[in-house]
Amino acid sequence: MNTRLTFASAVLVAAVSGLGCQSTASAGATSSTAAADPSSAPLGARGVQKSNAGANPGHAGKGTPLTPEPGHALAAFAEGCFWGTENTFRHVAGVTATAVGYTGGHTESPTYEAVCSHTTGHAEAVLVEFDPKVVSYRDLVRVFYKTHDPTTKNRQGPDVGDQYRSAIFTLDDEQKTTAAAVIAEEQPKLQRPITTEVAPLLRFYMAEDYHQQYDEKTGKESCPLPLR
């Protein structure tokens, strides 16, 4: 399985690019320029390869019902800043589409500013559409645990707040069972307790356009930081 999980100098890059909830105005201005002409964005220190994955998993919208393509399935994960999380999953063989957004909270139609206020309960999450014939849900959960620190509650590296929590949002009982099984596999490998929240995926709200495929648009890799 090609997961493209390269994390050399992760701490250095996080210090530069993992700035958490910067103002939407400044983040939007930077990424909107890149979005207009992604090819003009300079590559970051480690570079970011473009992915062939699509950007409309499950025909996601602002809290609308999710429907994957025939033969495909959906998964949802939160592991810190959703820029880096999406970039990771977009390079997993068998992932056909991804989008970043907000879920797990108690408010409707959240915005980036609202989520950053720590009053919505929403996590920065990535919705993944995948082909189970190529990659299993269990393998996706294992990727999730290889690419962040699940032992720091409401925090990934320099990013602090409930929107940065470790969470698996499940779509059915089989996913819930699989998530629990992988957690049981991972816990003995760690010195601290896993804090990952496992909860049903309710409404998923697509984030603002400039957040989508942010790393590919800007050529920079973002948080989260891997534990190992």
Closest CA relative to residue 226, chosen from 84, 89, 122: 84
Closest CA relative to residue 163, chosen from 73, 217, 66, 83: 83
Residue 223 annotated as catalytic: no
Q: Which of 21, 81, 116, 223 is catalytic?
A: 81
The string over 9-37, giving b where at least 16 C-beta atoms fall within 10 Å of a residue's C-beta and e elsewhere, is ebeebbeebbebbeeeeebbebbeebbee
Contact by Cβ (8 Å): 3, 90:
no
Distance CA 76, CA 102 (A): 10
Active site residues: 81
